[in-house]
């Protein structure tokens, strides 16, 4: 399978616990994005990386959230002291976009990690 891979697919955690999600992008895709999706809504942008550099973070990404992409390949999204409002689908996407090109902007999404905070 050469698509975007996310792990785990489902996570149930108690309020106050920390959770970490992993995303493996399509090989050689230099851009990696994290989105969050709640029921009935479209995905909302959280943050994105160009290789290992985190270039933008949404206001949705509170201090409890941290994302890393240490070697420019896989990425992790950690949520500390989870709250019930963090319950959502966390989606990862990757793109071969190198910046400014109009030829390689399509973003491919993974299947997501469904987080439930109880």
Partner 1 sequence: GESVGLHLPTLSVQEGDNSIINCAYSNSASDYFIWYKQESGKGPQFIIDIRSNMDKRQGQRVTVLLNKTVKHLSLQIAATQPGDSAVYFCAENNLGGTDKLIFGTGTRLQVFP
Nearest to 77 by CA among 19, 30, 4: 19
CB of 43 or CB of 79, closer to partner 1:
43
Give phi and psi for 84, each to the nearest 5.
-60, -30
- The answer to whether 52 contacts partner 1 (rule: CB under 8 A) is no
- The answer to whether 31 contacts partner 1 (rule: CB under 8 A) is yes
Which residues of the shown chain bind partner 1 in the complex (CB under 8 A)? 4, 31, 33, 35, 37, 39-45, 48, 55-56, 58, 89, 91, 93, 97, 99-100, 102, 105-112, 114
């Amino acid at each position: 399978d050469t698509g975007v891979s996310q792990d785990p697919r489902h996570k149930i955690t108690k309020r106050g616990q920390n959770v970490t999600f992993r995303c493996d992008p399509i090989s050689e895709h230099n851009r990696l994005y994290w989105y969050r999706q709640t029921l009935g809504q479209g995905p909302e942008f959280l943050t994105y990386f160009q290789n290992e550099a985190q270039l933008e973070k949404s206001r949705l990404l509170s201090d409890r959230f941290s994302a890393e992409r240490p070697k420019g390949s896989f990425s992790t999204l950690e949520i500390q002291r989870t709250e019930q409002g963090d319950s959502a689908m966390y989606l990862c996407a990757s793109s071969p976009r190198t910046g400014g090109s109009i030829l390689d902007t399509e973003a491919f999404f993974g299947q997501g990690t469904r987080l439930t905070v109880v």
